[in-house]
Structure formats: C-alpha cells, structure tokens
Amino acid sequence: MTACRSFFHSFPEAVEVHSQEQEVVIALGSNVGDRLNNFDEALHAMRKSGIEIRRHGCLYETAPAYVTDQPRFLNSAVRGITKLGPHDLLGALKKIEKDLGRTAGIRYGPRPIDLDILFYGGFKINSDILAVPHERIWERSFVMAPLLDVLGTDIESDTVACWHSFAKHPGGLFESWSKLGGNSLFEKEGMMRVLPIGNRLWNWSERTWVMGIVNLTPDSFSDGGKYPSVEAAVSQVRLMLSEGADIIDFGAQSTRPMASRISVQEELDRLLPVLEAVRQLPEMKGKLISVDTFYSKVALEAVKSGADLVNDVSGGQLDPEMHKVVAALKVPYVAMHMRGDPSTMQNSENVQYSDVCKEVASELCSRVGEAELSGIPAWRIIIDPGIGFSKKTEQNLEILNGLPTIRAEIAKKSLATSHVPMLIGPSRKRFLGEICARSAASERDAATVASITAGILAGANVVRVHNVKDNADAAKLCDALLQKRRVVS
C-alpha cells in the first residue's frame, strides 16, 4: 500500500504534487438563491477549471449548522481527479464561489455556494490557508453522508485506504459516521436524501410512487393500439390520475421482445401531440410526465414539450448521445438494465448469468458510471434492474427476491448509486403469465399486484404499472407495513 503523505507549504513539494494527477473529494453546499442551479453551475465551472468529476454523492437537504437562523442547505460531494496542485485547486474553487456570488459574509452564514476540499490524494496538507483533510469533516453529518456516498464499501485503492486512515476512529470513515449517529440522523436531524424532479425535491423514502404506463404504439404487448388518438390517450391519463398515479410514463416505441425499431421521427409523431395535450390538463398539477425512449433526440424534444424525466430501457447503450443530452437537460434519468436491444435481448447469450443479481448490479454500476462521466449526477439517477428484459422467468424471480442484494453489490463500488431510487416494472410481463398460466396480458393484474408487493417490501421506490388502481392500493398497504417496521426497529 502506498503510504499516506504529509505536505507542508513549500514550493518544491508543491511542484512535485502538481506534476501528477491526484484524486480529490470536494464538498458542495448552498442555501441562497436557486440552490440546485448553483450546484449545476459550480460543477460546470469545476470541469472547466481542470477537475474531471467521476462520481457524485446523493443530494441532501439539511438544517443549517452553527448559525441556525438561515434557510436549509443542499449538500453533496464529488470525487474526481485533477492535475492542479492543492493551492491552485483551492484558488480555482474560491474563484468559482466568487463568480457565483459568494461574498465574505458571516462565518457559517448563508451562501450561494460553498466548495471545500475534503481530501487531496493521499496527502495531509497544512499551510496558512489550507488544511486537508478538512478539519471539520468528523463533526459534520452533512459532510460525512455525501463523502461516504462517493466511496464504495470495499477499499478499492490505496488513496481511499489513506482517506479511511485519516479518520479519528480505527474503523475509518464508516466508524466515524456511525459515531455521529449514522442513518439515525435522517430521523433525528431531519436530513433527507432528495432527488430534484419537476419543481420539487423528492424524498423517496416517504412512500412508494406509482408510474402509470401509456403506450402510444400499435404493437406493445399489453396495451398496444388501445390509444390510437390523442383523445383516447388523454382519457386514459385522466383515469390513471384519478386512480392515484404520480407519474405518467409515455412510450411511443415498443420494447417488447422481438420488437422492430422505428425511426426518431415516427416516435416523435406519436408522442408530441399527446404530451402537449396532457401537459395542459388541470389534473396534471403536482403530477409528473416520463418519456420512455432510448433515442436522445426524442428525449430532447419530449422534455421541451413538458416531460419531467427520461426513462431509458437501454441505460444509454442504444444512443451514444443520450447521456450528454440528458445531462444538458438537467432532468432525472432512469437507467435500466438490458443486454442487447429489444429484438435481441432474449437471445440465449443475453440471458446467460452465473449470478443474475450480482451481474445486473455490476452492469448497472457501469451504466451509471458512464452517465456520471457525461455529467448526470447521482442525485438525478433512478435505477431499474430491468425485470423482463434479458431475463428468463427464474431470473426475474431472483431479481424480485434479490433487490437488497442488488443494492448491496452496487454499494461495493458506489454508495451513492446504491442509495438512489429504484424502479421496477414487472407489470403484466410474460413471466407472470408463465407462472400463473395466463396467456393474455390483461389477465395478469393479480399476479402483477403480488409482484409489485414483493418488490416494494424488498426496497423498490417506484412501481411502473398498467393497472394503477389496484397497484396503488397495494403500494399504500406496503408503505403502511414498512412504516410499522421502522417504528418497531
């Protein structure tokens, strides 16, 4: 293992450190103005300053510390690499703070942006203007939580091992977090993990969200051809909203097994008139629109027409521009697991797994990692293990049983990704028909309710369904059971 090193402010060592890439962790905080936009602008400026951001923490809304008479903060952290020396890095961050409107103000007082260097390589730094590790890491839960997010539970590098050794407890950063109170802080101190969506910050731990499926296609396996006109689609949306849908997910291209691919223009021709009509409905107030597409151009036009999030069955594998487009749109992104494309996903080579939960977790991690490198932060990502996509019946059952395992496997590489909301979509899928001997998709609603119930109790946060009414009831019961578990524990 490479030894951790001390760095005292002297020019020769500054040159030595500056001459090679170093891994860094930087904390972000904001409680003035458009807090989320402040984060977006800061990340953009950091990249332009020579910091390659590779991982993001979750987004936390927290009560102010030290000076309590001020607005609540958004907090997170990023992990990346830079060739900037530690004091050059500090200078770059201070310039970003100034450019975004930060002034001297009162210590620990309100600020549009606060950027702190938590770690710089394997170095301990002590100079007149910089101390690394940041001296107050260990007492700040709003720093520790996102810091841990950008690490994995396995110590995967010498640098990360050094960071753990800097902690004030022999068990490293995780023991320091535990001594602060750990996950109990989310109850005691009002910390919340949140995902920005629409005009709100969504705390997905409060309850399960129901996503209603509206397929604007002639050939989808369940409701293909049922909504041939804008009026028919709008009527179905109104019904789903009345039955308790939180999100309406529009698909204008079939992703059933063996589906042939249509063009971007044909997909848009089906989708945009409906989106524009639905966005005007008074019933949509407080509700969200999702677009189910693997085309970046469709995602772009859909968001321009009112969609709030992008649901990509390919996780970015079928359009190399998807991640960059979604990053620029600054909307949530559902990254689903699938191998191949709809026409090949059930081929024999795509349904071969030695351990389906571990392999799905690993491949999802790779997709999310690619999205993060393109600029989609973890706080805008939702993961979907892809039930029914590149899976056989037994594998779908293993996934439903194994959602906690999938999260645990992801946590080994990125705690942030393991914490993000998880969406499942078993609704009316073929494996339910095989188990229950129901050949018609419309006869699989009872089995869907059972699968949704199993998924929610195993940790799913969003359920994507055709039958909103029955599954919304199931979600409410599951939420009540989970709340009872939390009270008892």
Is 464 considered catalytic here? Answer: yes
**Tokens standing for residue 280:** 């005007």
- For residue 74, which of 96, 56, 52, 55 has the smallest C-alpha distance? 56
Strands 131-132 and 333-336: unpaired
Burial, 4: exposed, middle or buried (Cβ in 10 Å; 0-12, 13-18, 19+)?
Answer: middle
Q: DSSP per residue over 439-486, as a string?
A: -SGGG-HHHHHHHHHHHHHTT--EEEES-HHHHHHHHHHHHHHHHHHH
Q: Position of tokens 């059933």?
A: 256
Phi, psi of 482 (to 5 degrees): -65, -40
Residue 173, CB half-sphere, CA atoms under 13 Å: how many? 25
Is 429 considered catalytic here? Answer: yes
Distances from the Cα of 239 to the Cα of 149, 270, 310, angstroms: 40, 20, 23
Provide Rg for the chain, Cα atoms.
23
Look up residue 262 and give its DSSP letter. P
Q: Position of tokens 């059972």?
A: 450
Q: CA–CA separation, 327 vs 377, rounded Å?
A: 8
Q: Which amino acid is at 169?
A: H
**Tokens standing for residue 168:** 């004030």
Q: Which of 429, 444, 469, 476 is catalytic?
A: 429
Q: CA–CA separation, 378 vs 395, rounded Å?
A: 27
Within 10 A of 2 (CB to CB), how many other CB atoms are there? 11
Q: CA–CA separation, 375 vs 51, rounded Å?
A: 12
Q: CA–CA separation, 448 vs 481, rounded Å?
A: 19
Q: Position of tokens 């409680």?
A: 31
Distances from the Cα of 280 to the Cα of 23, 29, 250, angstroms: 48, 36, 15
Phi, psi of 310 (to 5 degrees): -115, 130
Asked whether 275 and 305 are in contact (CB, 8 A), the reply is yes
Q: Which of 464, 469, 485, 486 is catalytic?
A: 464
Asked whether 20 and 123 are in contact (CB, 8 A), the reply is no
Catalytic residue annotation? 429, 464
